[in-house]
Structure 1
Amino acid sequence: MQKTPTFEDLFRDCRRTAVHLETRDAYMKSDPAFIDWAAGKPLDPVERWAGWHALVTEATSRGVEVRRARIVSTPIGEYIRFEHEVTEALNIAAGEQVRWLTRRAATDIALPGNDFWLFDSRLVLVNHFDGEGENLELELSEAPDLAKLCETAFEAVWQRATPHAEFRPL
């Protein structure tokens, strides 16, 4: 029987690309880091998410292109403000490329119904969340049609999106 790979396994086995599309305006508001940030406590993203930072740094150092695109409503809400604030120290510093697209600018892009990670243009890890943005489950698929849909959607968003350094949240 073949073991189901973990997220970390998928990332470590990735050879060329790992892309992530985020379409929600809030995720896991129960996250202690978000709660601390909302309360005004100092936050060191690299320290708080050391495992993530190390995983991305390892992947990018071996040549994997890691890109994340976020579709957001404007004016942005508190959670997206939090994400925007930690992106430079957490994602960009690890070698990830991040772009932002306003929801209004995404109206005519055909998008999958869920957030996803796409590894090497062939493995799709679908993220399922509840109505409050809490993570419910991950679903792994090797379906070629789904991978193509996700790749096409991601690239359409990426081409229109604003690089993190230039994005000014409203």
Structure 2
Amino acid sequence: MTPITDEEFEGLLAGFEREAIHLETRDSYGTTIELPHMAKWAAGEPDDLEWLQGWCATLRDGVKVGKSVRRARIVSEPLSDYQRWSFSIAHPMVEAGEDIRWVPRRLVSSIGIPGNDFYLFDDRLIVFLIYAGNGLGVGKFVSTDPADIHLCRSSFEAVWKLSIPHSEYKPI
């Protein structure tokens, strides 16, 4: 596996040809972009979600040319504060074309899942997302190994079969 920069990752998010799938397995994250907005939410302050508009624009542009973006979030219930906040801000992304689904962790007990969150682009390149214990991102690594691609694709599809669309999921 080879490390990549945030800039290279952004290029992959914008430049894939037909499909990006994303599996999230953690109950909490602490990305530097998200932390101030989550703090506003926790304090009951409004957030115009302007910071999400770049991603939403990328999604809309991709949908216009036939691209698909699917995200499955494996979550413990009751939801962590992070996941409750994440649920509260997902609508603009769904509206822009990302198919976000929720999977209660209890449903995936017998599914083999990679050790890290990932994006799989066009069944040809995986970006593994590495996080510290506190949820801060500490690295991204790419793989084109066919075994990694098969593992990620098969685990994602197994999770996806059990997933609940964002519009139907009722947070506990």
Q: TM-score, normalised by structure 1?
A: 0.92
Q: Over residues 120-157 of structure 1, what are the superposed CA-to-partner deviations in whole Å (9 max), with x where a residue is unaligned?
A: 01110000000010000111111111011000000000
Q: Distance in 2 between matches of 1:49 and 1:10?
A: 18
User: Please, which of 47, 50, 55 is the counterpart of residue 52 of structure 1?
Assistant: 55
Listed as ranges, the matches of 1:88-107 within 5 Å are: 88-89=91-92, 91-107=93-109
Q: Distance in 1 between matches of 2:156 and 2:23?
A: 6
Q: Structure 1 residue runs of 4+, over 6 Å off?
A: none
C-alpha contact 2:31 2:137 (8 A) present in aligned 1: no
Structure 1 residue 93: Cα displacement: 1.5
Structure 1 residue 29: Cα displacement: 6.3
Q: Over residues 91-116 of structure 1, what are the superposed CA-to-partner deviations in whole Å (9 max), with x where a residue is unaligned?
A: 10210001110000010110000000
Q: Could you tell me which residue of structure 1 aligns to residue 29 of structure 2?
A: 27
Q: Distance in 2 between matches of 1:166 and 1:12?
A: 28
RMSD, aligned CA: 1.5
Structure 1 residue 32: Cα displacement: 0.9
Task: Report the 3-state secondary structure (helix = DSSP H, G, I; strand = E; otherwise coil) of the residue aligned with 1:40.
Answer: coil
C-alpha contact 2:116 2:130 (8 A) present in aligned 1: yes
C-alpha contact 1:8 1:55 (8 A) present in aligned 2: no
* Aligned length in residues: 166
Structure 1 residue 57: Cα displacement: 1.7
Q: Distance in 2 between matches of 1:140 and 1:59?
A: 22
Kindly, what percent of the aligned residue pairs are identical? 42
- One-letter code aligned to 2:48: D
Structure 1 residue 44: Cα displacement: 2.0
Task: Report the 3-state secondary structure (helix = DSSP H, G, I; strand = E; otherwise coil) of the residue aligned with 2:115.
Answer: coil
Q: Distance in 1 between matches of 2:144 and 2:15?
A: 14
Task: Report the 3-state secondary structure (helix = DSSP H, G, I; strand = E; otherwise coil) of the residue aligned with 2:127.
Answer: strand
Task: Report the 3-state secondary structure (helix = DSSP H, G, I; strand = E; otherwise coil) of the residue aligned with 1:108.
Answer: coil
Q: Could you tell me which residue of structure 2 aligns to residue 41 of structure 1?
A: 45
C-alpha contact 1:29 1:79 (8 A) present in aligned 2: no
